[in-house]
Each structure stands twice: as structure tokens, then as C-alpha cells.
Amino acid sequence: MLIEKEFGHEMILDGCGYAFGAQRLSVWQSWSCCDRFPVELDVGPLQCQSASQRELCGVGSRPAMSSQELMTSGDSRRREGRVSPTRGFVAQNAHTTSFEIIVGDTHHDYSDALKKSILFYEGQRSGKLPTNQRLKWRADSGLSNGSSDNVDLVGGYYDAGDNVKFGLPMAFTTTMLSWSVIEFGNSMQNQIQKARAAIRWSTDYLLKAATATPCALYVQVGDPNKDHQCWERPEDMDTPRNVYKVSTQSPGSDVAAETAAALAAASIVFKDSYPSYSAKLLKTAVKVFDFADKYRGAYSGPLNSVVCPFYCSYSGYQDELLWGASWLHKASQNDSYLAYIHSNGHAMGADDDAYSFSWDDKRPGTKILLSKGFLQNDIQEFQPYKAHSDNYICSLIPESANFQTQYTPGGLLYKTSSSNLQYVTSSAFLLLTYANYLTSKGGIASCGSTTVTADKLVSIAKKQVDYILGDNPAKISYMVGFGKKYPLHVHHRGSSLPSVHEHPAHIACGAGFQYWNSGSPDPNVLVGAVLGGPDDKDKFADDEEPATYINAPFVGALAFFSTKSTAS
């Protein structure tokens, strides 16, 4: 449900849902949930629906200001960097079921979006939650995961809006979060520790999955067919928590090589801050990659009934092997991986131009990753990857002879009707990463007879990022909790059902559907979640699903822009 109400005034809500009117107030301030202001507009008493909705003011809030202070001092405070001009609050009118989302101006606060894009991962956590958990509506879940096989598989992330832990998208999420930190961590400022924590929540789990049983890798917890028949909070789930693994007899080179890539990339992230942990990650990555390479096969063969159609390996496993080897080369600087890439690249898709980068197909990402070796380190074996990277980049540029990408009338890159924003965020990330790499060699990509500068790539990426944050025909932010108007009814079990703290009684498998089918705004705000997005005509249905792999590359893109003075 996306509702904005006009009362002839701009409304400013305090964190507890009280309001006062302000004519043309140009700033917005996040303040405490404790202090209350009088209601000056005759719209009835306003109140927060739940503690979880008050969390929007708990993230980055500062002591309350009086209405007079806001009226008189806002502009100077904004220039001083103490005001987030896009932070809004959700409150429910006690006499209606409508919601108001109140903000100041429409300038994108990329730093705030970055903070929220990382915060989203706390809503996806499985396992025993830490004391510093910020999304308080979540609680412990899946504490016996793995017990059916006498192993410990507690932890990790639920991939999207259900309660299954799928290994392939979780590993890809981890690789992309790590790559975001590797490339743009210096721009994350006070969010770098939160980003590392988001990565470690996954790598701790992936280490368990990779070492629990010799010559095997656990790749999934939960039966998705049973899970999808229920609408349950993760804290309540009583569907089968079956565990699934790949082994020497039932290989899964795709998911294993992606897991190796994730562990290797994360080892770079922790190399300076936690060297012993970094070494453990890299050592495990080497072993998992050897397993993936020696026992070849796609995991959607032996595990077809539980991974398809959810996360089938449609592209095969060769792209993951090349991707994994590339990350192991970057992390270890071991020349054996350089030799592996050189010897196996052709058979694994190095010569193929692919134009979609996702949890399934790693070819565009691999080529851009390897192009850095040529552009910045002058590794001649990687020179062909620069040409293939150019081909991918040129496919996104309308004036290029190699252009082959669809854009919506509003300017959004469009690949598919299912979770399209995953391709938008991954493309924006690759554009920005490649722009950084190109600056080492003059900043030029070759698109036939046309040359494209790094600045052009940044401009294209920015348009996609800004579209997601609200610069689109619908004027909707597709990041929950960010911007003037954003989705309130998200395809997410934990978000749409009452928190266990407010409704301690068990909500059974089928009982949860009444909440989802009601169409009412979610009682719990999944702050920072980027949803699947609109259709090819820029139309949006307010029941889209978030996913960890949509946010992961977006973290890097937002970090890039958070340090740029690029007002939209």
C-alpha cells in the first residue's frame, strides 16, 4: 500500500507519531522517540503502530528539538551535515488505516541509504541474534538447524521473504558484499564495521557448511516446497528443516565454487582487521575450490527437487569455477590460479560475452574482476578480459553500436519481470567498479568506433541508483524505509506478521496467510530492503520480494556515491 495524504501543510512527525504543521519546511530531522510534540493539525491523534515502526527513528536519531528550533534552525543544521534530508517516519492515524510518510526535500542522502542497505541484513539473520541487533522485531530462529544430520548449521541468512537458507545465493551475496567492501570500503566511513559484520554473519555459517563433514559441502537448510506452503515467522517455523549437501558422489561445482569465491573474497576484507580469521577463510576456500574442481557437476542435478525452480544452476557450473579461481588468485596471489585461468578459461566461458550478472551467471563479473589485473597490474594474460569487459559495458550504452539492453520508459535497465532490480544493482556496481579500474589506463572503454569515459559509466550507474531511490515515474523509493514514499506491504514473512515480542503466541503454518492477504501495511519495517522493482512500463505492484543478493552490490554502489557531492 502506497499512500500519501495532503493536508495543505507539510507534516512533521516525531518518532512517537505526534505531529505539527509547518508551511514549506525545507528540512527534516531525526529525533528521539521519547519526547512528544502537541498536535497542531486537526487530523486526529497519531500514534506508532508498533515498536518496530518506531525503529525508523531509532536508527541514527539525535536528541529531540522543539518545533520552534526546527522552524528557525533547520537550514544551518543541514549544511553542517547533522540533518538527513531524506529520513522519514511512518505513523498510523488512529482513526484510519492510511499511512503518512513524511520527509523534507528529495535530495538523495546516499550515506543514509548505505546505512539502511546494510541494516537490511539484520532482518534476514538466522540463528542466535546478538545483543546489538538493531531490528528489534526479529528474534532467535533456526537454533537446531543441522541437528538432523548431527552437524551445526545454525546461522547464515534467509535469502528473501521465506525461511529457507539457500547456499548458492547466500554465497553470491557474501562475495558481492565482500567485493563492495574491497572496492569501496574506504568510502563507507562509519558503516565499514557494520558491513564487515554483515559479511561475517554469512562467512561464519559458510565455514560450518564447508567443514562439518569431510568431502562434502552443506548447501541448503529447509525444504522450500514445504516452506512455501506456510506463512510463518522464522521464529515460529515448524516446517521440515532438512539439510542438503553436495559430495563426491553428488557433486555441485557451481555452489561449491561460489562458496570458495565468497570465502576468498571475504579473506581480503578481514586481512588487516582480523588476520587469523582471514587466513582461516582463505585456507577453507582453497579446499572447497579443489573439491568443486575435482568433482564436477551442477548441484541442480542431484538436488533438483529442492533447488529448482528456486535456484537452479541455469548457466552451468563452468562460470563459477572460473569466478572462484579468479577470487582465489586475487586473495592468495598464487600463480597456480593464474595458470588455471589461462588453461581453463576458454572452456569455462572466458571467450563468451554474457550480458547479465547474477547469482546464476558470473561471466560479466569475472571478466571485470580479471580486467583489473591487466589495467592496474599489467598482467598480460588478462588483456583479453579488458576487451570482453568493454563489450559488456557497451551493451548498456544506448549510443553504442553494441547496445543491446532494454530500458523502461522511465530509464530503468530491464532484464526480466522476476526480481529485475537484482540486475540493476549488479550492473550499477560493475559500471562503477570498471570506471575505477579504467582510470588507471586513461579511463576509456572501446565500443566499436566510439570511446566511453569512466565518467560516462558513473553517470549511467547514478541514474540507476537514483531510479531505485525514487527518481522514477512513480516517485517511489524501492528501498523500504528510505525516501518520501516506499512500499509498505512487502512479500516477507517476518515483516508482515506481528513480532514475537508483541504477539508471543505461536502463529501456525496456515494462520499467517490472513496477515499477508489482508493487504495491510506490514507491522514490522524491513528497513533497507531493496525489492524486485517495477515492470517494463515502470508499474509497481506493492507485494514485491526483497533478496539479499539485490542489496549486496547496491551496498558498493551507495558507498561510491556517499562520498560524492552529487545531488539529484
Which residues are marked as active site? 162, 491, 542, 545
Count CA atoms within 13 Å of residue 388 on its CB side: 24
Identify the sign of the CA torsion 421, 396, 180, 387: positive
> Is 161 in contact with 546 (CB distance < 8 Å)?
yes
* Rg over CA atoms, the chain: 24
Grid cell for residue 290? 579443489
- Let me know the angle formed at the C-alpha of 86 by 535 and 545, rounded to the nearest 5 degrees: 30
Count CA atoms within 13 Å of residue 179 on its CB side: 31
DSSP structure string for 318-339:
HHHHHHHHHHHHHHH--HHHHH
- CA dist list (Å): 47 to 53, 100, 286, 393: 10, 11, 54, 49
The rounded distance, in Å, linking the Cα atoms of 526 and 523 is: 10
Q: Which residue has the cell 529448482?
A: 308
Residues 6+ positions from 461 with CB-CB distance below 8 Å: 427, 428, 429, 431, 432, 435, 557, 560
- Stated length of the chain: 568
CA 322 to chain centre: 24
The rounded distance, in Å, linking the Cα atoms of 488 and 414 is: 23
> Is 102 in contact with 481 (CB distance < 8 Å)?
no
Question: Which amino acid is present at 546?
Answer: P
Task: Indicate the Cα dihedral angle 353, 356, 357, 360, nearest 10°.
Answer: -100
Identify the sign of the CA torsion 257, 262, 264, 265: positive
> Is 272 in contact with 198 (CB distance < 8 Å)?
no
- Ranges of beta strands (E only) in 326-449 are 406-407, 413-414, 444-447
Q: Which residue in 207, 209, 237 sits closest to 224, CA to CA?
A: 237
